[in-house]
Structure 1
C-alpha cells in the first residue's frame, strides 16, 4: 500500500505518495502530491488512507496494462464520490495473495493498511476472499470505475498503455514519450478510455480536437485546473475564455494521435484510420518560433555593460549566446557540446553537432554537421575558454548545464536567456534563443547566400544535400568559412578572460 505522508503548507494540508520505480516513467513523476481540503486531524488522515488504497489498486491495474487517470481517481476519493473500493488480486508484502478485498469506508482502508503492515511478520497464505467491510454494495460502474476492460475486445486504455510501452521500449527520447502520454491522456479523457478500439471513428477524433482546442496552457500546474478531470478542465476553460493553443500545439497533438492510430491499424485492430478525411490545421514551419532579432535588439542583448554583468555568472551564459548568434545552432545543440566536439578540420576550428555522448541528441539527420567558428567568436577568446575546461578535465563544454529531466541540456540556458532579453526590453511573444537561428538565416539570405550554403551552417533540410551523405565534407569547409564572413551583425563581442566567472571556469 502506498504510504501517505501528510504535509502542512500555508495553503492547507497535502498528502504525498511515492510512485513505484517501475511506474515512474508512465506516471511522469516520482511523487504524487495532492491537497486534502481538510484541516489537520483524523478526517485528513482517513482520506489520505483511502487515497493510498485507491492507488494500491490503480498501480496494480497499470502493471497489468490498463490506463488509469490518477488525477481523476484521487479527486473522486477526496470528494467522497468513491465511497467504496474493490481490490482484486492483491499481493501483500509477505507474499499473501488476496483474490478480492472490498473497502466501503475510510476506516476500512485504515484496517486494510494495518493488515498489510502485520503481513510483513507472518507466513504467506492463499486467501480467496477478504471481506474487510460489512456491506456488500458493488463499486459503481461507468465513469466511477477505477479501471476495467471488455473480455473479448481491445479497449482503448489497454491499447494506449501498450503503445506508450512500445515507445519507451524503442528508446525514443523521454520527451517524446511524455508528450505522447499527454496527448493520449487527453484523448481518453475526452472520449472515454473504456471505448473499444474497433469502434473508434471520425466522431471520436473530432470530439478530441474540439476538446483540446479549449485545453488551457499548463493546466496540470495551475491551481484552478490541476485537480480537475479532463472534461472538467475543458468546461472551466470555456467558462474562463482561455486562449486557444497555438497552431503548432494542435499539430503536435494530431501527429501523436496519428502515430497511435497507425499502430492500431498495423496491429489489425482498426480497419480504417479515423483521422483520414479530417483536414489538418494550417501551421507555420514547426521551427518557426520567434523572429529574427533587429539591429537594436542585438545591440541590447550584447550591451557592453549589461551582457557581461549577466553572463559572467556562468560560462554558458557568456558563450552560449555568442555561439548561437554566429552559428545559427539550436540551443540544445550548443548546450550539449562536449569537449570532444570542439575540433580543427583542415586548419578550420569549429564544432560538431552530433549525438553519441551521454544525453546528446539531434533533431534529424540534416542536423549532423561541422560548424566552423566565425572569426569574431575566435577573437572573443572562445578557444582559450575551451583549453581551460580541457585542463580541468571536464567532459562537457558547459559543466553547469544539467540534463536532470532527460529533456535536453538547453532548457536552463533557454529560460535564463529569455528572462535576460525581457529585462533588456525584448518582450515579443515567443522570442528567445531561437531568434539567433532566424537572424543568421535571414541575414545571409539578404546577403545573397544560397539556401544550400545557409543549410550547411544551420543544419536545415534542403532536400538531397551533401549533408545527407557526409556531414563533415572537407570540400565544403572553405565555402562555409566564406559564408560566415558574410554575416556581420552590428555588435562588438566582449573579450573573455578567466576572471569573468567567480571561482574560475564554470
Structure 2
C-alpha cells in the first residue's frame, strides 16, 4: 500500500487517496498514554504513533477534521500531564531502577528542572562587591572550560557528580559506601588502628548504561549553558541562549517535534530505505558502518535531535574521530569516544582521510533522508554540517589503494611463512589464509565476495570449464548488481590444487558447506572483518614487512586489473571478470554477457608478475588446468 506525504501540512498524510491524521505521542506521556488508552484508540504501542482515518478524500474537509483531531489529542496529552499519570509512571521507573526505560524526554525534563531550579538561579545571583565579582568570573570561566573539555578529568568528575545529584533529587535509590577514616583516632585508640568508617550516600546506578551516558551529555549541556549565563551576568553583557533545550520559555514537547527525530531515530529511518516496495535499502555492511558512526557521535554528544546538530558539535566530532587510530588495540576496544580521547594514542597509526570522510558521508545521508521523509515545515531549516566536515588528505596518506608490486608478491608468496613454509596462524583461520590471497590475485574478487564462498559456488559450464559463481544465493551479499558474475578458475589456481581443495571440502561438509569453516567475526561485524585485520598485521610483520598504508588486501584487486591490461584484455572483458559497471556504453548492457569459455580463454592470458610454480602440486600438474 503506497503512502504519500502531503507537503507543508503536519499531521496529515494520504493513503490510496484517503486522508489520515498522523502524529507521534510525546515521549514524556507515551507510557502513561499506552497504559490508559486501548489500542483501538488509533495508537500503535510499538511505534508510539497515532494514525486515524479522517474518512474523506476531500482535502478541504480533511483540513477541517485535522484541526478537530489535533485539538482533541493535544487536550488529552495535557490531561495526562495534569493528572500526574506521567509523573507517577516516571516515579515507578525510578523505584524499579529502570534507567533503560526512561525516555529521552524524561531525561531532558530532569536536566531542564536542574537548570531551572539550581543552575539558573545561581548564575543570575549578583555578587556583593568587585572582589567577589572577579573571583566568581574566574570560577565560572574555569567551570566552563572544564565541562566543555571532555578530556579534563576534573570536569568529567563534576559532570558525573551533578548527574548523580540530579538522579538522587528525583528519588533514585542510593547506596552507602564505606570510606576509611584517615584522621587522628579519638583518645584511648591507638593511631593506625582502623575505626568505624564514614558512610557516604551515592546513587545506585549502572554508569556504563547508554541512558546514563545520555544523562551525562544533557548535564554537560546544562553546565555549559549555566556557565555562559553566569559569565554574561557578571560581565554585564546580553545573554543569548545557544542551546535550545535551556532557552527561556522553552516548551519541551513542542521543541522536540520542531527539532526532528533523534539521531538514533534518523538512523533507523534511513536503514528502512524509501519505504516504497522494491525501493533501495543500504547494504548490511554499510548499515553497520553507519551505526558505528552514530554510536561514536552519541558517545560524544548524546542522542540529540537532528535540529540540534550545530556546526560546533560537528567540528568537535571531526576532531575527536580524527584522533582515533586506524585499528583500536584490544585494550581500548570497549572504551567510549570520550574515554579514548583521554588515552595516549600517538603510538598508533592514524585513520586515513577516506575512512573518516565515509562516516561523514553516511551521517549526512541520514540527515538528508530525515529531512526528506519529514512532514514538518521546520525540516527545511534543520542543519546539515557534515558535508563541510570532510578531512583533506594527500593521495599518499592512505586515501587511495595501490596495487602490490612484484617485490611485494615475492615477500607474500615466496618468503611468507604461510605459503613458503606451510605454516598456519590462528588469526588466519585455517586454509583461508592460504587460498584467499591466491584467489584475490588470480580473480580480482573482493575479500567479502571470496569470504562467502561455498562448495556449490565452484561450478562448471556445459564444456566442463570451472568457474566461481559470485552472487546472492544462500544469503550471500554483493556490492552492486554488476558484481553478480561468473569468474573462470585461472589455470594457475588449478595447478596449485584449488579444485582439489574444493572437493576435499565437499567430502567433509557437502555441497552447501562453506569453503572456509574457521572464518568468522564477532557478532555485528562483517564476516571477513577479523580476517582482514589479521591480514593487515600479517603483511606488516617480518619477513613480509609491507608497511605502505596504501597497500591492503584490496591491492590484489588493483593488481589484477593491471595484469588484465598487460595481457591485452579489452576493458569490457576485464570489467566482466571483476564485476565493474559497463560505463556509458549502453550497448554493453544488452544480452547475457560473455560466455564462461570466452572468459576462460581471456583469463588464461593473464600472468602474475612473479613465478609461483613452487606452489604447484604434482598431482594436478599434468591435468587440463581449465577443466573441473
- 1:303 alignment counterpart: 414
Q: Relative to structure 1, is the Cα distance of residues 471 and 311 closer, same or farther in structure 2, using a 3 angstrom cutoff?
A: farther
Q: CA deviation at 1:163?
A: 2.3
User: Is the counterpart of residue 428 in structure 1 residue 547 in structure 2?
Assistant: yes
Matches of 1:326 and 1:487, distance apart in 2: 9
> Is there any run of 5+ residues in structure 2 with no aligned partner, and where?
1-93, 109-149, 178-200, 207-215, 224-244, 246-250, 274-280, 620-628
TM-score (norm 1): 0.64
Q: Does 295-304 or 254-263 show the bigger shift?
A: 295-304
> SS where residue 351 of structure 1 aligns?
strand
Q: CA RMSD in A?
A: 4.8
Kept in 2: contact 1:328–1:440 (CA 8 A): yes
User: Is the counterpart of residue 270 in structure 1 residue 391 in structure 2?
Assistant: no
Which of the residues 351, 354, 360 maps onto 2:468?
Answer: 351
User: Is the counterpart of residue 489 in structure 1 residue 627 in structure 2?
Assistant: no
Which of the residues 398, 411, 428 maps onto 2:516?
Answer: 398
- 2:255 alignment counterpart: 153
Matches of 2:405 and 2:356, distance apart in 1: 30
- 1:26 alignment counterpart: none
Cα deviations by residue, 1:230-268 (Å, 9 ceiling, x for unpaired): 3x7557779x69876321122112211111211221114
- 2:70 alignment counterpart: none
User: Is the counterpart of residue 294 in structure 1 residue 371 in structure 2?
Assistant: no
Kept in 1: contact 2:352–2:399 (CA 8 A): no
Q: Relative to structure 1, is the Cα distance of residues 56 and 453 closer, same or farther in structure 2, using a 3 angstrom cutoff?
A: farther
- 1:418 alignment counterpart: 536
Kept in 2: contact 1:291–1:435 (CA 8 A): yes
Which of the residues 167, 178, 200 maps onto 1:86?
Answer: 167
Q: CA deviation at 1:281?
A: 4.6
> SS where residue 363 of structure 1 aligns?
coil
Cα deviations by residue, 1:413-451 (Å, 9 ceiling, x for unpaired): 434433433333332233332221121112322444333
- 2:123 alignment counterpart: none
Kept in 2: contact 1:366–1:467 (CA 8 A): no
Cα deviations by residue, 1:173-232 (Å, 9 ceiling, x for unpaired): 554344323323444555x44765435454554454344444455569655x975663x7
Number of residue pairs matched by the alignment = 400
Q: Relative to structure 1, is the Cα distance of residues 83 and 409 closer, same or farther in structure 2, using a 3 angstrom cutoff?
A: closer
Q: Relative to structure 1, is the Cα distance of residues 185 and 153 closer, same or farther in structure 2, using a 3 angstrom cutoff?
A: farther
User: Is the counterpart of residue 142 in structure 1 residue 219 in structure 2?
Assistant: yes
Q: CA deviation at 1:495?
A: 3.4
Matches of 2:471 and 2:270, distance apart in 1: 22
Q: Relative to structure 1, is the Cα distance of residues 319 and 454 closer, same or farther in structure 2, using a 3 angstrom cutoff?
A: same
Q: Relative to structure 1, is the Cα distance of residues 77 and 491 closer, same or farther in structure 2, using a 3 angstrom cutoff?
A: farther
User: Is the counterpart of residue 209 in structure 1 residue 318 in structure 2?
Assistant: yes
Q: CA deviation at 1:410?
A: 2.3
> Is there any run of 5+ residues in structure 1 with no aligned partner, and where?
1-52, 89-99, 114-138, 499-506
Which of the residues 513, 526, 531 maps onto 1:408?
Answer: 526
- 2:576 alignment counterpart: 456
1:297-336 alignment runs, 5 A limit: 297-303=408-414, 306=417, 307-310=419-422, 314-336=430-452
Q: CA deviation at 1:462?
A: 4.2
Name the larger-Rg structure: 2
Q: Relative to structure 1, is the Cα distance of residues 451 and 55 closer, same or farther in structure 2, using a 3 angstrom cutoff?
A: farther
Q: CA deviation at 1:387?
A: 1.4
Cα deviations by residue, 1:135-158 (Å, 9 ceiling, x for unpaired): xxxx99732889x99321238795
